[in-house]
Amino acid sequence: MTPSASHPIYVIGSGNVDHIMRIPRLPERGETVTNGVYLPTFGGKGANSAVAAAKAGGRVSFVGCVGDDVGGTALRAELEKFHVQTPHLRVVPGVATGQALVMVGEAGGNYLSVAPGANHRVEAEWVRSLTDRIEPGARVLLQNEIPAEVNRVVLAAARRRRFACLFNFAPALPFPLEDLRGLDYLIVNENEADNLLAAQGHQPLAERDPTAATGLLRELGVECVVLTVGARGAVVATDDRVETIPSLPVKAIDTTAAGDTFCGTLAVALAEGADAFAAARFANRAAALSVTRAGAMISSPTRGEIETFSESSGTPPPNLSNNS
């Protein structure tokens, strides 16, 4: 893959201030678990993916909204620190920047809740006017943390203007299935896949093998489905090929934003001309590295770290504690 020849990437999505509490184990309902370590950081599925893509060598612009508060100013500065372009990051007066509470427990598993704030002020008409200027070779990455109407506008523009769209259907939300017709890449985890399978009238993933599930999801009219199945890896399905990409043996300490890292780095590899299978292998390495680190946005690896991560040994590079 050749970073210098890459197409631009637009991430249209959410940005949050994340309040992460690492605790020995996740609590039961009504239970208090103490001895936590608090980590204030930045997140939002969109912003996390944008930073992951920029660190992996992508030419990335972020499109979204923050509030006119300290968090919004700091989030913009953080994006720019990682060379994400922010001319399309809007400030909404009188509204709070998105906030997320994340509890991280055993094996890096988490509970996550979000107050969307300014993320729900991203307006369809504004984004429609931006998509009119997106060049045909660009890759556009979406998630489900801004209004569905905005994503529908982008999907329609992608069909009309023929730029490639990646839709990370996270978190799972009701969405008009007919709008997915013609989508280039649908990226889902097990929960999101179940949501779409149910909407299609199918049994959940537990009742079938993941490969068959990707076939059903492709019936939505999607060119390529990438289904991540946790420790079982990822299944990539196109018209003429289905491949399972095994997960990599790393010690997970925090899985927050692993999916965002996967999607951002997948977009980078695709923008550089990789096919979906090579791109997913690249993204798989990046996501594996991200779970070995605490935090959301700060957990994604650099290009060098992804490339030196030996897939055969599963050995992370030595500088894993360095997040810059």
Q: Is the dihedral of CA 262, 263, 264, 268 positive or negative?
A: positive
Angle (CA) 322-323-324 rounded to 5° is 100
In this structure, which long-range contacts are made by residues 111-114, counting pairs with CB atoms below 8 Å and at least 24 apart in sequence? 111/26, 112/256, 114/14, 114/16, 114/145
**CA dist 309 to 282, 318, 319, Å?**
10, 9, 11
Residue from 50, 51, 61, 145 in contact with ligand RIB (CB under 6 A):
145
**What's the rounded Cα separation, in Å, for the pair 183 and 38?**
39
CB 154 within 8 A of CB 127: yes
Instruction: Give the nearest distance from C-beta 170 to ligand RIB in angstroms.
Output: 7
Does position 114 interact with ligand RIB (CB under 6 A)? The reply is: yes
DSSP three-state, residue 101: strand
Strands 9-12 and 98-104: unpaired
- Which CB sits closer to ligand RIB, 115 or 278? 115
**What's the rounded Cα separation, in Å, for the pair 165 and 152?**
11
- Which CB sits closer to ligand RIB, 138 or 141? 141
- Which CB sits closer to ligand RIB, 138 or 186? 186
Q: Considering only residues 37 through 66, tell me which ones interact with ligand RIB, judged by CB under 6 A.
A: 43-45, 48
**CA dist 237 to 15, 44, 223, 224, 299, Å?**
30, 27, 8, 6, 28
The mark string for 163-202 relative to ligand RIB (x by CB under 6 A, - otherwise) is ----------------------------------------
Closest residue to bound ligand RIB by CB = 43
Does position 100 interact with ligand RIB (CB under 6 A)? The reply is: yes
Looking at 12-20, 64-72, 155-163, 304-312, which segment touches ligand RIB (CB under 6 A)? 12-20
**What's the rounded Cα separation, in Å, for the pair 285 and 306?**
6
Residue 177 gets which letter from DSSP? G
Query: Is 69 one of the annotated active-site residues of the chain?
Result: no
Helix (H) or strand (E) run with residue 236 in it: strand 234-237
- Residues touching ligand RIB, count (CB under 6 A): 16
Does position 72 interact with ligand RIB (CB under 6 A)? The reply is: no
Does position 303 interact with ligand RIB (CB under 6 A)? The reply is: no
- Which CB sits closer to ligand RIB, 111 or 178? 111
Instruction: Give the nearest distance from C-beta 114 to ligand RIB in angstroms.
Output: 5
Does position 295 interact with ligand RIB (CB under 6 A)? The reply is: no
- Which CB sits closer to ligand RIB, 112 or 212? 112
Does position 151 interact with ligand RIB (CB under 6 A)? The reply is: no
Catalytic residues: 260
Binding site for ligand RIB (CB under 6 A): 14, 16, 18, 43-45, 48, 100, 112, 114, 145, 256-257, 259-260, 296
